[in-house]
Amino acid sequence: MAPHLRSDARYRQRFLKEAERASRLTDQHIAGLYDVLEEGGETFLVMEYVEGETLRQRLQRPLSIEEFLEIAAQCGEALVAAHARGLVHRDLKPENIMLTPAGQVKVLDFGVAKRLPRPEETAATETFEPSTAGGLSGTPAYMAPETLLEKEADGRADIFSLGVVFYEALTGRHPFLAGSFVATSDRILREAPAPLLELNPRAPAELERIVAKMLAKRPAERYQTAADLLVDLRAVQRGERIELRPSPPAPQPWYRRRVLRVTAALVVLAALVVAWRYWPLPAERVSVVVLPFSNKTGVLQLDEYKLTLTQFLVHSLAGSPNLRVFPYEQLLDIVQPLIDKGEDTSSPQTIQAVASFSNSRFVVVPVVHAIGNTLRVEVEFRDGRTGKTVGSTKAERRLSGSPQETLYSLLDELATEIEGYFKDLGRGVEYEARTAGGRPRTATAALYFNEGQNALARGQYARALEALQKAVQEDRDYALAYAWMGKVYGHLGYDDKARAAAERAEQLITADTPVTDAYFIEANLAERRYDLPAAEQKYLELIRLYPDDAAWHAGLADVYERQGLSAKAVASYEEALRRDPHYIVVHQQLGGVYSRTGKSAEALTHVERALDLYRKLGNREGEAAVLLVLAEVFRQKGEYDRARQQAEVSRKLFDELKSEFGRLWATKITGDIYFSEGNNREARRFYQQVLSGSGELRSNRFVVQSLMNTGVTYLREGDLSRAVEYYERSVDQKWSARRERALASANLGVLYIEYGPDPERGFQLAQDALETFRTMGDALWEARSTTTLGIYFMNTGRYSESVEHFQQAERLSRSRDFAEGIALANYNLGRCYFFQNDYARALDALEAALNHYREQKDPFGVALAQILLGWTHARLGDRSMAQALLKEGIQVSQQKGYGELLPDAYTAVGELHRESGDAERARQSFRKGSELWKEPSVSESSIEARSYFGLMEAERGDRERGLSLCRQAAERARRLQHLHTLARTLINLAQVHVLRKEYARAIEDLDEVPVAGERTAGLELRARAFYLRGRALEGMGRSQEAKAAFSKAREAIRSLHLSLAAAHRESFAARKDIQPLFP
């Protein structure tokens, strides 16, 4: 107990009373309080020792939903026990929840009071202790609103605090925590946290609703008792749906509402007394743009420093409380074309153009003069609308050393003069000049840094890196140069170098580093580590400090986009455009997001706006880049000719600009267009150009993507060995682009799982990729990897796990508006039901997949879904629908060269002809499918086709050949490890043995067909297996056993028949190959 509280008799009496009450509380989920001792003026609590770890420590590792629910329910039981005895915890947080090695929850510190800190000690996560009975008690970040307002709190305050804990455990982030007590308190009082499912799509929807109710601002709208909460938690554990009924609202008279608002204001006002220096001021800053320096000295060597001086004057003003300075990177988009043409950047026409494009209220025009041994910078302030001079200032310094160093040393003084002029027009806050840590030590280092930035703006990555490396050689302590090196390496996919440079930048942050630089460096490091949630928090802090700065909103949007949070990305990009309507890159990026989410009209609006702005500026590098985004929009729309036209114009522009990176980018995009169109040969031709490109600096990301897509083109054509070759090359460790290699691993995993020869390796590759994407927060490819694992479980007969994975992948994809992922998950869900012979559900899933593929104008996806949907209709006996779908799917596959789809198609058509009695056409179809068997990777359908072909050869009299073909198929199916394929081939092999009257061997084959247990074949396959067993047993004279087998066959086929929709039962029962199975 704090000394000043020990001397407070009233407080000490209350403390002892609460401790005595707490000591009477005994519950398996609450750490016991055994005694209270006083010794030498000190008060001690004797408490139960709990072995284990805190929930805070446990949250450092992934927590499954099942484990969370058990912890949550036990926490609920602890609150039920405590509240029943009139005890309120007041300080629930992860640090006060212990987990024993046996998995038991123990809540610590019930009824233990705390002290209230002095204002200068306040922090968002410190614990407060009450000085009076109604005072503030607990940890601010976990306090209920009524506790923050120092109102009487009951058990519902504990429910709110526990809701904060639950939200944090489920999402990995606190719902309200900000950079200060004030900001945290304001969020608790006023803001709703982001929807839980946006941050964790794997959580059950009911759990989101429970947590949302726990976090209601008004106690009357929360759970009214912990017992009510516990009931719902246990229901979710059991997998039951719950209905949350709103708590009856408590009437609140007008005067109470007024008092509440006043009290809230007083709490925040009191905290602002402490935090005013760190809180963003509400008034708008004055918008200004700084033109490039004009050199009127006659000293030619200063000409090459004009942009350098401009950049670092802008940088010196960037943290201004009064000025919002137009970013240098955007200024360069406007003035670089003028500089390239040799035009005067201080002319009236330039001033008007810059003011218009930057949307700035004032233009700062700096001009350098030489007066004897003195260098003077005269600055005019022009009205952005009229161009008229409205004021001026100057700064000068005697020449000391080189002219460039003298001018460079003058920048801070110049920034102070500019600030002084605009102070009264802005917020009127005193300006503190940036420390020396805000820029390089020497003008030479600054020049190299500036050259790196300028090269980067032109897409000249090799030159940018060369210049940045010179900058750090000149000034080894300049953190921003390392940060930008990390950005360039990261963009190109040199992840190891990118992370090393970003980490070096972070190590160089000191107390002198400007806060905006520090946050940018930390955000960049988080991005290089693929810790996108951490990067998101850094940008949010920058926005909190400078909410009117469009660049920080754009940076946040980019992080959201990389996490697949399209809606949030769009909102942040739109906010950036609200701040700066001419922010060209944002128009370009927003167009890309809209295109990827299927909103082509909105995409075209923004991309065409960016293109128009770049053309008006004469910025050809920008124009070429936007043309590629426009090509992507047309590709997503399925307008491939228009897409190619834009890509070709872009490539020519990049060739004229001698941009190697741009040319390779355009080449890759052209390959992607042919890839989407289904022209595999042309796609490979362009991807090969990317792979053989001899640029100054290779883009690992382009290389891995091109290798991967080349592999996919071979896979589509059915050339599995070449597909494996390119997939294996794409996962090579020498490509340090971690995300792209994870993509390649996920795709290679699919190939090994689907086609062999090593499904277990495929599973491990997919599992590793999944963990990588989860670490990165990449929900889109987390969904794809989850689908791959679902395919593994499907092929090994673990159907329930497979369905769970496909449904989870669909939920993840829907949470990110990922149309391709939604379609893929539905298609594989349909496959899984098809293999289980659950044809009704298969129809629903496959029709959904087909619709999604059609909306995306994806010819491969459409043909893929049509073939399996046609096969499903064939199994249902709907021959006309089956024929139509299969015919269209085969036609597209043959036209586009989709050889990967033909084994499925030929096997489905063979089944259709066989069922209709056209044995010869069935045999020819199976033969075609069998001929697509290509080692070392063989598709399941080509194996089934060979098995059927063998059966039909045996039926037409060539039983030796038939037996040989069926044995080949069964043996290959064993190595493929696909349960449904093995079951099908074993049943066909057994049928050949029955034809040969080799009944004992038929029984041996059928013994291997899984008809019971955890992994079982579908009902139709089971019915066939039981029926054939009955025939074999009849042939062996074992009539009683045969009758039992026939009975099981009838039972299985009846169950399948009843599961079908009424419209399909008759046609299914009419199938000739099914009729013998019915009684």
Q: Which residues are catalytic?
A: 91
C-alpha 806: how far from chain center: 18
Torsions phi, psi of 1018, nearest 5?
A: -65, 170
User: Nearest 5°: CA angle at 311, between 411 and 621?
Assistant: 165
CA dihedral over 44, 45, 46, 49, signed as positive or negative: negative
Residues 367 and 377: beta-carbon distance below 8 Å: yes
Question: How far is the first Cα of the chain from the last one, in angstroms, to the nearest whole number?
Answer: 84
Write the CB contacts of 467 (distance below 8 Å, at least 6 apart in sequence): 448, 449, 451, 452, 455
935's tokens: 């080692």
Going through 735-776 in order, the beta strands assigned E by DSSP cover none
Nearest-angstrom CA–CA distance, 1044 and 1040 = 6
User: What SS3 state is found at 568?
Assistant: helix
DSSP H helical segments within 857-1009, as ranges? Answer: 859-875, 879-896, 902-916, 919-931, 940-955, 959-976, 979-995, 999-1007
- Say which DSSP state 138 is in: B
- Give the Cα separation of 899 and 492 in Å (integer): 34
3-state secondary structure of 995: helix
Are the beta carbons of 972 and 989 closer than 8 angstroms?
A: no
The Cα–Cα gap between 889 and 893 comes to 6
- DSSP letter for each residue of 326-355: PPHHHHHHHHHHHHHTT--TTSHHHHHHHH
Q: Which of 582, 626, 627 is nearest to 287 (CA)?
A: 582
Q: Locate the DSSP E strands across 729-879.
A: none
Pairing relationship of beta strands 42-47 and 53-54 according to DSSP bridges: unpaired
SS3 of residue 286 by DSSP:
strand
Packing angle, helices 799-815 and 779-795, rounded to 10: 160
**Alpha-carbon gap, residue 674 to 681, rounded angstroms:** 8
Residue environment code for 157-172, b if the CB has 16+ CB neighbours within 10 A, otherwise e: bbbbbbbbbbbbbbbe
Q: Which phi and psi (to 5°) does residue 824 adopt?
A: -65, -40
For residues 93 and 168, the answer to whether their CB atoms sit within 8 Å is: no
Distance from C-alpha of 737 to C-alpha of 493, rounded to nearest angstrom = 4
Residue that the structure tokens 């030619």 belong to: 300
Nearest Cα residue to 496 out of 453, 530, 473, 448:
530
H or E stretch covering 38:
strand 33-39
At 549, list the tokens: 């700065």
User: Residues for the chain: how many in total?
Assistant: 1079
